[in-house]
Amino acid sequence: MKNKLAIVVPAYNEEKVLKQTIKVLTQLIRDLQPKQIASDSFILFVDDGSTDQTWNFIKTASLQNPMIRGLKLARNFGHQYALWAGLMEVRSQVDFSISIDTDLQDDPTVIPQMINDYEEKGWQIVYGVRNNRDNDRWLKRTTANLFYKVMNLIGTHIVPNHADFRLMSRKALDLLALYPERQLFLRGLIPQLGLKTGKVTYKRQTRKAGQSKYTVPKMLNLAWNGITLFSNALLRVPTLLGILTFLLGCVLGGIQMLNMHHVSWNLILFLIVSSTILISLGIIAEYLGKIFNEIKGRPRYLIEERTIRHD
């Protein structure tokens, strides 16, 4: 029996490109059946609270073609949440999923390669990684590179140049579902699952129609979530500043006491008092970080496999 696939596609105000996407993806599924995937494989569009004709298009398409399914969120929750909703919806029904954006910027022609890697090599997660950023505007390219540098610096493992175009096996989806946190940054979460993973590279296209739904505030919010949800490094800033302020106070105090140069005692006192406040804040921040980690409720361990029980 062939493995059953669900392609999960979040869509927010995508009426301009949706018809073309439906055509391309249904053709892709038809080409893959029945040799590579099960005949009841399907495409799930998640309408993330669109205000245009997106949902109507999805509904009409689903009536005409049983391969198309739709899920309408009650309002605009954001890409990460729409994607999560889609993945959790299909999890119990399929052997594996592939998530892709509606605008066809991620190249669907590498999907057969992804499936091949999942089936032949046993990869549980296959990341779609873009091989260049030629199609990005300067601002997006620069901020993206800066983001990957910062993430590396604070020690968070994410796959560079990978957005949310990826294959996940049922096992990977089941492990992902064990993460109960509310605020999502899937690109940070999924590498934490472990499992056998791999990459396929592709050339990211320009948007086929419509405009980017990732406004600058939405993009910054995503990056900020990535940084703050996966590292408590920023909470150490007050401690660091406190230590520096204290050292500066000591040096200036020494200079004054040794009569090397006149330094105001007011300044020295100010630095010492500031440093105690900053270090105290830093201590509170350490506990806050621990509380934050606890509250996320991430699983302590993940089981990949068990041997068969004989009892």
Report CA dihedral (105, 27, 99, 91) to the nearest 10 degrees: 170
Give the span between the Cα atoms of 250 and 274, in whole angstroms. Answer: 13
Nearer to ligand UDP, 215 or 293 (CB): 215
- In the complex, residue closest to ligand UDP by CB: 212
Catalogue the E-assigned strands of 76-159.
96-99, 125-130
Q: Which does 11 bind (CB under 5 to 8 A by kind): Mg ion, ligand UDP, none?
A: ligand UDP
Three-point CA angle 178, 180, 183, nearest 5°: 130
Give the integer Cα–Cα distance in Å for 296 and 179. 8
List, in order, residues 6 or more apart from 120 with CB less than 8 Å away.
Answer: none
Closest CB 266 distance from ligand UDP, rounded Å: 52
- Which option in Mg ion, ligand UDP, none does residue 82 bind, with CB closer than 5 to 8 A by kind? ligand UDP
Give the nearest distance from C-beta 103 to Mg ion in angstroms. 4
Least separation in angstroms between residue 180's CB and ligand UDP is: 22
Decide whether 214 or 292 has the Cβ nearer to ligand UDP: 214
- Report in angstroms how near the CB of residue 165 gets to ligand UDP at its nearest: 10
CA dist., res. 242 & res. 287, Å (int) = 17
79 binds, among Mg ion, ligand UDP, none (CB under 5 to 8 A by kind): ligand UDP
Residue 102 or 124 with smaller CB distance to Mg ion = 102
Q: Among 7, 78, 88, which residue's Cα sits nearest to residue 49? A: 78
User: Residue 116's CB: how many other CB atoms inside 10 A?
Assistant: 14
Residue 43's binding partner among ligand UDP, Mg ion, none (Cβ under 5 to 8 angstroms by kind) is none
Pick the closer one to ligand UDP by CB: 7 or 82.
Answer: 82
Is the Cβ of residue 17 or residue 173 nearer to ligand UDP in the bound state? 17
Q: Which does 58 bind (CB under 5 to 8 A by kind): Mg ion, ligand UDP, none?
A: none
285 binds, among Mg ion, ligand UDP, none (CB under 5 to 8 A by kind): none
**Token duo for residue 54:** 């997106």
Cis ω before 10 (30° cut-off from 0) = no
CA separation for the pair 106, 204 (Å, rounded): 5
Closest distance between ligand UDP and the C-beta of residue 32, in Å? 21
Q: Go through the chain and tell me how many residues it has.
A: 311
Shortest distance in whole angstroms from residue 68 CB to Mg ion: 21
Q: How far apart are CA 253 and CA 251, in angstroms?
A: 5
80 or 197: CB nearest Mg ion: 80
Residues that bind Mg ion (CB under 5 A): 101, 103, 105
Comparing CA positions, the residue from 122, 97, 110, 124 lying closest to residue 37 is: 97
103/117 with CB nearer ligand UDP: 103
User: Which tokens belong to 90?
Assistant: 């299909």
Number of Cβ within 10 Å of residue 254's Cβ equals 12
Contacts with ligand UDP by CB under 6 A lie at 10-12, 14, 48, 76, 78-79, 82, 101-103, 105, 212-214
Rank residues 100 and 271 by Cβ distance to ligand UDP and give the closer one. Answer: 100
Q: What's the closest the beta carbon of residue 183 comes to ligand UDP, in angstroms? A: 15
Question: CB of residue 295 vs ligand UDP: minimum separation in angstroms?
Answer: 25
